[in-house]
Amino acid sequence: EAKRQGRNTWHWYDGSDAQHGADYAQLRHDLMEAITQHQFVLHYQPILAAQSQTVSSYEALIRWQHPRRGLLYPGDFIPLAEQTGQIVAIGQWVLEQAAKDIAAFNQQSAGQQAVTVAVNISPLQFRRQGFYEELKRVLRVSGLAPELLELEVTESVLMMGADRTRGILNEICELGVQVSIDDFGTGYSSFSYLRDLPVHTLKIDRSFIRDIPANQRDSALLQGMIQMAHQLSLNVVVEGIETLEQYEFMRQHGADYLQGFYFARPAPLTW
């Protein structure tokens, strides 16, 4: 727990503006090495079917084994990587590694229900020319069935330039790859994109769950979001389930899939 708290309070920038600039340059440089020196690792957190309580998919979550600073969490370096554009190379690595990991995992557990892998895709990566080709390449080299790959994008991605976004989504959809909207409810909250963009799943942000069941407004919002999703034939994942009460509440109110520390923390994939 100290580590998780630490990651929220830990700042790379610390001190004067000069120090700030130096640290920025250092981190940027370290990030370049991280890619070539294979310092990134993926942890996986299961997403469970609410009724059967069986694992339906694993979300890949990146960590950085920094040579001097120890294990760093995405909050420590993803924002900078987005700024510098390094997120594109990092994201490509994540996509390919996650697809290979889960293809191997499913092969090892042949005979059991195959699991899906959910990969977070940054806006830059998603909108880049060639993302579709990259996706096809990853499916080919990993041997993962397209239906077993799920891309998590945030609402902001869908709000940017509707035509281009629709084009990319249609291509992804034709491949058979699924798309879910991550951190749903925290973005610009215009529902217009839900009307006509091909997405499969709403992943409700954990800020709506934190004070459940005590907070009645949050309860009402959650129930409303679940109903709306179902009327649009979308699946609902609720993230951030930490207690038995939250689990029971979400199951009672019809959430399809659940994810959170109550079930499992992100960890290296083992089988």
Report the C-alpha gap between 67 and 27 in whole angstroms.
12
Q: Is 46 in the site for ligand C2E (CB under 6 A)?
A: no
Q: Is 122 in the site for ligand C2E (CB under 6 A)?
A: yes
In terms of CB distance, is 15 or 201 closer to ligand C2E? Answer: 201
Contact 55, 47 (CB under 8 A): yes
Closest distance to ligand C2E from the beta carbon of 85 (Å): 12
Taking CB under 6 A as the criterion, the residue among 31, 61, 204, 255 binding ligand C2E is 61
Piece of 24-32, 169-177, 226-234, 236-244 that binds ligand C2E (CB under 6 A): 236-244
Query: CA nearest 201: which of 183, 175, 221, 219?
Result: 183
Contact 194, 232 (CB under 8 A): yes
Q: Is 201 in the site for Mg ion (CB under 5 A)?
A: no
> Given its phi and psi angles, is residue 70 left (phi above 0), alpha (psi -120 to 50 degrees) or beta?
left
167, interface contact from Mg ion, ligand C2E, none, CB < 5-8 Å by kind: none
Under rule CB under 6 A, which residues in 1-40 are in contact with ligand C2E? none
Written as six digits, the tokens of 96 are: 């390919």
Under rule CB under 6 A, which residues in 182-211 are in contact with ligand C2E? 182-183, 206
In terms of CB distance, is 5 or 36 closer to ligand C2E? Answer: 5
In terms of CB distance, is 30 or 201 closer to Mg ion? Answer: 201
Taking CB under 6 A as the criterion, the residue among 34, 57, 88, 91 binding ligand C2E is 91
Query: CA nearest 120: which of 203, 190, 38, 207?
Result: 203
Q: Is 242 in the site for ligand C2E (CB under 6 A)?
A: yes
In terms of CB distance, is 44 or 193 closer to ligand C2E? Answer: 44
Binding-site ranges for Mg ion (CB under 5 A): 120, 152, 182-183
Q: Write out the residues near ligand C2E by the rule CB under 6 A.
A: 45, 61-62, 73-75, 78, 87, 91, 94, 120, 122, 152, 182-183, 206, 239-242, 259-261, 266
